[in-house]
Amino acid sequence: MKLREDEVRIPSPAGPIRAVVLRPTGDAALPGLLLYTDIFQLTESTLRTARRFASAGFVVCVPEIYPHGDLAGVALEFDDAGKQAGLAGAAATPTAAFDADRVAVLDFLQARADTTALLATGFCIGGHLAFRAALDPRVAATVCFYPTGLHNGALGADPDAGSLARAADIRGRLMLVFGAQDPHVPAPARVEILSALYTAGLDDLELHVYSGGEHAFMRDVGARHDPELTDLALTAAVSFFAAR
């Protein structure tokens, strides 16, 4: 499968959003997938994952999650300095800014001639952002990979973004993926998330908890990476998006 990759600037009220769009070569109309990164932004690791989704038959749009400040245009290193910069970028970004950028990116995807349905996915903080994308009625299906802060609402500058409290607004299908050994989303947090979703009436969803998986087990850099679990999770996500 040959792919095409384009760097684009998506207009938004706060200024342009740098993003990478990946799709199979050709002109076929395909589902548009908004893919949110982790705190390290547009790293080659995330782009490798985006390429795998694109090769499965999606138009994948990967925006920067900090496109308007000092981190605009910066792909952070997977080290302590990169982690601290990414966390600082999150702490400086209110939920309203994340939401406004999401609307801009979904508008961009929807307006493209080569997209059909709108889908969303994301990793870590991006998993939480993907959950918020699911609140948009245009999004037909969402996969959240180990979303941080979803159980207690913590997102960016806001101690409680109220994401779970709005779960009943989700109209599309939802899938959640966790590693069983994730200290950021341990078993009690996963139970809290699932209970809130069921209470909101979202009982038709998929939950995958992978034994031995640590936080960010799908990031193919570092000791936490588990290639086997990554393949299982990506296969499950593609199948879910394709509605089998």
Q: What pLDDT, on a 0 to 100 scale, did the predictor assign at position 103?
A: 98
Q: Return the CA Rg of the chain.
A: 16
Q: What pLDDT, on a 0 to 100 scale, did the predictor assign at position 204?
A: 87
Q: Which residues of the chain have a pLDDT value below 50?
A: none
Q: How far apart are CA 185 and CA 147, in angstroms?
A: 8
Q: What pLDDT, on a 0 to 100 scale, did the predictor assign at position 244?
A: 65
Domains and CATH numbers, the chain: 3-241 (3.40.50.1820)
Identify whether 124 is a catalytic site residue.
yes
Identify whether 107 is a catalytic site residue.
no
HSE-up (13 A, CA, CB side) for residue 113: 3
**What are the tens digits of pLDDT across the range 98-125?**
999 999 999 999 999 999 999 999 999 9
Exactly one of 128, 182, 208, 226 is catalytic; name it.
182
Q: What pLDDT, on a 0 to 100 scale, did the predictor assign at position 183?
A: 97
Tokens representing residue 238 in the block: 């593609």
Exactly one of 61, 124, 151, 226 is catalytic; name it.
124
Q: How far apart are CA 173 and CA 134, in angstroms?
A: 8
**What are the tens digits of pLDDT across the range 223-232?**
999 999 999 9
